[in-house]
Amino acid sequence: MQQQPDITGIELLTVYGSNLSYFTGKLEMYLRAKGIAYQFEPMNTRRIMPLVTRETGTSQMPAATLADGRWITDTTPIIAWLEHHYPEPPIVPIDPVQRFLSLLLEDYADEWLWRPAMHHRWYSAEGALLQSRHLVDEITVGVPAPRFLKRFVLRRRQRGYSFGDGVSEQNREQVEDTYLRNLDWMQAVFSDRPFFLGNSPSLVDIAFTGPFFRHFSQDPVPAEIMKQRAPAVWEWVARMWNCHGHVQGDWLLGIPADWSPWLREIGTVYLPYLSANALAVQAGNKRFSPTVDGVTYAGARVSPYRVWCLEELRRQYLALPEAPRAEVQNILQRHDCWEPLWRIETLNSGVNEGVTLPFSCTDKMV
Ligand SMILES: N[C@@H](CCC(=O)N[C@@H](CS)C(=O)NCC(=O)O)C(=O)O
């Protein structure tokens, strides 16, 4: 990986992951936009993965080490922590209303677009063959087994990410529609301005590169759809990868009207799903079959991590000063997000309790 000059003063990081991974891509995009120098190392299963598991308690990608040897994992708190310690140039909006709504869109991009991204990666033979070969060569070097066997094992395991998240032939079309809708909404935004919030990238751009960079623009089927249906999104992906040095916090005032489709979707689909997941975790279930907006995701795995996501959103809301808090409430109410945000009275995920910064996350996403 080519080194870029560091413009924040933070010492070099090492990022362990895969150059096909959703969240490794998200973290790399953040570091590049921010101007933080890092070196990338594949998280190979022989040497690095056992080390990461021992040091952080999870084998998820990405994991990173700071120059002083401390480990950090989980892109959402990593970005929050780095922004706090290295505020210039800003990626997370300073305006409290923009900041809260950016965190909400980040959560949606991280957790809800994961399902169509996993589906598109592993459903078509074309994509699965290509990417399983890449992944096997990248992270299973030195594992003494034939390549075809490693690919077979990997594909079976990875398809569990979409079946295990409730994707089936009954709802495949709706899962694919989520991607198409997002393309249309983004095409409208990037036909108007280069980034979600104006002339500079911000947290929402970084979050949407999770699914759109290392998945939708790299997997053959969704990449072709993107080129044909939403060329401005295709262009934005490359603009993001090349945005080092263009970050100045040159943003619009307020919440752009073209964010409304996402806020409505978050209110009708994502927050109701998070609420159903929280109830299932409280009931001690391992699987559940949430129905949101008329679509059932049968036999989906429950996720304590996603209870933590809901807790975090509430905590961020409650930490807002009075005036922006009223404004956020108003926006959430107008987009039907308010009721599902508070639907479940008490949340107690137990995730990340007692962790100190820098930190490692105590639970997997799904
Ligand atoms: N919330 C985490 C999610 C990390 C994550 O789920 N990473 C995926 C790859 S993109 C992974 O490592 N999956 C393998 C596993 O869970 O074992 C983050 O933001 O970093």
- Give the orientation angle of helix 114-123 with respect to helix 220-229, to 10 degrees: 120
Asked if residue 87 is part of any domain, the answer here is no
Is there a single domain that holds both residue 163 and residue 206?
Answer: yes
Whose CA is closest to 272, among 280, 127, 132? 280
For residue 177, give both structure tokens.
């529609």
Is there a single domain that holds both residue 219 and residue 310?
Answer: no
Average pLDDT over residues 339-358: 81
pLDDT grade for 363, boundaries at 50, 70 and 90? low
- How does the average pLDDT of the chain come out, rounded? 90
Q: Which of 78-87, 225-234, 265-274, 299-308 has the lowest mean pLDDT?
A: 78-87
CA of 144 to the centre of ligand 1 (A): 25
CA of 234 to the centre of ligand 1 (A): 24
Asked if residue 45 is part of any domain, the answer here is no
Is there a single domain that holds both residue 264 and residue 237?
Answer: no
Is there a single domain that holds both residue 263 and residue 236?
Answer: no
**What is residue 66's predicted lDDT score, i.e. its pLDDT?**
87
Is residue 21 in contact with ligand 1, taking CB distance under 6 Å?
Answer: yes
pLDDT at 225 over 50: yes
pLDDT grade for 40, boundaries at 50, 70 and 90? very high
Asked if residue 234 is part of any domain, the answer here is yes
Asked if residue 300 is part of any domain, the answer here is yes
Is there a single domain that holds both residue 119 and residue 100?
Answer: no
pLDDT at 196 over 90: yes
Is residue 18 in contact with ligand 1, taking CB distance under 6 Å?
Answer: no
Asked if residue 85 is part of any domain, the answer here is no
Asked if residue 129 is part of any domain, the answer here is yes
**CA distance linking residue 18 with residue 15, whole number of Å:** 9
Is residue 59 in contact with ligand 1, taking CB distance under 6 Å?
Answer: yes
| Contact in structure between 361 and 74 (CB atoms under 8 Å) | yes
CA of 158 to the centre of ligand 1 (A): 12
CA of 216 to the centre of ligand 1 (A): 17
Distance of CA 260 to the CA centre of its chain: 20
| 3-state SS assignment for residue 71 | strand
Q: Which structural domain, as residue segments, surrounds residue 158?
A: 114-241
CA of 59 to the centre of ligand 1 (A): 8
Is there a single domain that holds both residue 196 and residue 146?
Answer: yes
Name the pTM for this structure: 0.93
Best mutation site among 15, 27, 61 for ligand 1 pocket (most ligand atoms within 8 Å of CB)? 61
Asked if residue 56 is part of any domain, the answer here is no
Which amino acid residue places its CA nearest to atom 13 of ligand 1?
60
Q: How many domains does the chain have?
A: 2
Which amino acid residue places its CA nearest to atom 2 of ligand 1?
74
**CA distance linking residue 197 with residue 205, whole number of Å:** 8
For residue 192, give both structure tokens.
């108007």
| Contact in structure between 259 and 252 (CB atoms under 8 Å) | no
Is residue 16 in contact with ligand 1, taking CB distance under 6 Å?
Answer: no
Is there a single domain that holds both residue 155 and residue 229?
Answer: yes
Number of C-beta neighbours around residue 235 at 10 A: 12
Is there a single domain that holds both residue 100 and residue 158?
Answer: no
Q: Which residues contact 72 (CB under 8 A, 6 or more apart)?
A: 63, 64, 65, 66, 78, 81, 358, 359, 360
Asked if residue 251 is part of any domain, the answer here is no
Paired with 72 in beta bridges are: 64
Distance of CA 209 to the CA centre of its chain: 8
Is there a single domain that holds both residue 171 and residue 265?
Answer: no
Q: Which of 45-54, 58-67, 149-158 has the lowest mean pLDDT?
A: 149-158
**What is residue 355's predicted lDDT score, i.e. its pLDDT?**
66
Residue owning tokens 């952080």 = 56
Residue 130 burial (10 A CB sphere; 0-12, 13-18, 19+): middle
